[in-house]
Amino acid sequence: MESGTNDAIEARDASVDGSTAAVGSVAIALRILKLFAARSAVGVTETAETLNISRSQAHRMLATLEKFDFVSQDQLTKAYSCGPALADIALSALGGLGVGRLVAPFLQRIVEETGETAHLAYLNGRTAFFIEAIETRAVLRAGSRVGTGLPAECCSVGRAILSTKSDASVKSLYPSDKALVRLTMTSPATVADLLNALRETREQGWAVNLGNSEKDIHAVAAPILRGESEATLALACTGPAGRMPPDRLQELGATLVRIAADFSAILGPDMRAGRIDRRRARTGVASDDR
């Protein structure tokens, strides 16, 4: 009888220990995923030091997350960045917050003030995905890109978001010995070209695309800034090169920066539903001074 009781106690203790270990593993995995809120990419050593865990634990957790597409590893740098599964969850969360509906008045403002097609885009790794758009009514216009993605270095929304990252963070995404994707002859050819373009974007607050992704199509974009965090979203206007000449870019850039700031104000610093100012969102105006 005593032997049976001891066996039961040992089995219970083993179950508790297993459950505790499982919870600990889940906690570590979640803490790793939270690192990507402030970083574009992380390595095994950085993860271990930041979370105060062993390198073997960090490697094992990252490998598991990669297996389920939550992170992706660059084969050259060995750094890990957000994977497609994490991007899908992020996009679903944006939908759950009603960001698509909330951004509509701001996209409409862009169309009305610039006369061009307006987009909202999201950055995942090195790809900018277009998630919302309103087209201008002009006969000659840039069409909606919703549902498609472009290399971040080749489009204004991608460079607008990348400009909120440090040079070191950008370099972790773009190893210097790896050729950049070039969609046209005006796309950045090297990492140095990209970093120079990002420095200019930081100085002026907005990014330009002068035929970098498609010949004769220009675009201007501004990041959606949220406190000190790196941006993940950007607003843009896109149109025919003839209607968006270089001497109009300053005006368009200022417009995009202003509307992006207004949109950011209604989202709040972390886009939690409780912090979204839906009254302001309905009008596309971020202050009561209308």
pLDDT digits (tens, 9 = 90+) for 64-76: 999 988 888 877 6
**pLDDT score, position 134:** 95
pLDDT band at 275 (very low <50, low <70, confident <90, very high): very low
Q: Is the pLDDT of residue 83 over 80?
A: no
Q: Which residues contact 4 (CB under 8 A, 6 or more apart)?
A: none
Name residue 188's amino acid.
Answer: P
Name residue 290's amino acid.
Answer: R
CATH code assigned to 85-283? 3.30.450.40
Q: Is the pLDDT of residue 148 over 60?
A: yes
Domain with CATH 1.10.10.10 in the chain: 2-82
Q: Where are the alpha helices (DSSP H) in the chain?
A: 2-35, 44-51, 55-67, 84-96, 99-114, 156-162, 167-173, 191-204, 249-267, 278-283
**pLDDT score, position 237:** 97
The C-alpha torsion from 209 through 174 and 270 to 46, rounded to 10°, is: -170
**Among 261, 250, 243, 283, residue whose Cα is nearest residue 109:** 283
Q: Is the pLDDT of residue 274 over 50?
A: no
Q: Is the pLDDT of residue 156 over 90?
A: yes
Rounded-to-integer distance, Cα 222 and Cα 259, Å? 9
Domain with CATH 3.30.450.40 in the chain: 85-283
CATH code assigned to 2-82? 1.10.10.10
What letters, b where the CB count within 10 A reaches 16 and e where it falls short, cover 50-78? Answer: ebebeeebbeebbeebeeeebbbbbeebe
Rounded-to-integer distance, Cα 78 and Cα 55, Å? 14
